[in-house]
Structure 1
């Protein structure tokens, strides 16, 4: 009976450790979001921005767009324009184009970043293709919008922002998905 009591204590401690690890795993997501928002890193740019702002017509900010592929990504990927000029507080939009030149379905994920880093807190995406994974069939081409607002509180010395995306091939990590084909005719 003396070995049963230490065993039950060990099992209880191990179960408590499992529960604590599980809880810590859930706590990491909000902690990560808070850290990224505070430091303006890893593309966390206030994506849930919902405030309405007045447009500052007296000021212009140049927003440059960059699109690159990770080493293993073969898609064509580019913005429709290299840059636009926006007024802080105005909702702006840019389209990015992606095309799968291969003979197989592929899934991709775009990871954004903002430069300069201190301006990331003032760049708010309201809609972005980077929020979801993109699956393209062989030869398929899509236009993907990003809608954003440059905050009126952007420091006045920042006159140029760069929104850059890196596109990653995540096909191997995704289960195969077949899109339904629309029927032709009646």
Structure 2
């Protein structure tokens, strides 16, 4: 009987170790996935290149004012766990390719306490992602809102003139997540599995 208890304890330790490793591996995959999406333009994620790579093409010999216009649509979503109102000030705008444009989103915290959120951007169609450059964006950093606080959040962007002429509309979507809620839930599940 004593040997059976040791075998059960050994199996339990192995299962807990395996669960812990899988949990850690899951968290390690998130930055890897984001990096891969950024590099290959998968899932509509765009490059955040700045500087020479995102400089307007006019400086490379393209006459100013001859760029075509595309419509950029703005979409806002929040994760179900985030008690924020989040929306763009304008739903769409026409922008000239190669020129810098600016859009503003508004976020309001409905919770009775401070909440820290992180916006995850997505660009559609996926082929347009590598031609959509965010120069400044609220999605680059965490956003903290006090209880009841409302804040304007700006994104400055440029659509590359190399965007295919077939693409006439580009959609920029953001989903805000509660930075502290997701890890806490995952940790609670891990603790329950370990107990």
Q: Given the two structures, how large is their TM-score scaled by the length of structure 2?
A: 0.69
Cross-structure match for 1:100: 109
Q: Counting helix residues as a fraction of each chain, which structure ranks higher?
A: 2
Residues 65-121 of structure 1: CA distance to partner in whole angstroms, max 9, x if unpaired?
000111111201001100010000000000111011221110101100000001100
Residues 93-151 of structure 1: CA distance to partner in whole angstroms, max 9, x if unpaired?
00111011221110101100000001100000011101111011011111010000000
CA contact (8 A) 1:67 1:165 kept: yes
CA contact (8 A) 1:113 1:163 kept: yes
Aligned match for 2:84, one of 75, 78, 82: 75
* Cα separation, 2, equivalents of 1:58 and 1:173: 43
Equivalenced residues, count: 148
* Cα separation, 2, equivalents of 1:142 and 1:43: 26
Aligned match for 1:145, one of 144, 151, 154: 154
Cross-structure match for 1:9: none
CA RMSD, aligned part only? 2.4
CA contact (8 A) 1:77 1:99 kept: yes
Q: Given the two structures, how large is their TM-score scaled by the length of structure 1?
A: 0.72
Unpaired segments ≥5 residues, structure 2: 1-27, 59-63, 184-195
Following superposition, the deviation at residue 56 of structure 1 comes to 5.3
Cross-structure match for 1:14: none
* Cα separation, 2, equivalents of 1:76 and 1:31: 28
Unpaired segments ≥5 residues, structure 1: 1-24, 175-186
Cross-structure match for 1:48: 49
Following superposition, the deviation at residue 44 of structure 1 comes to 3.7
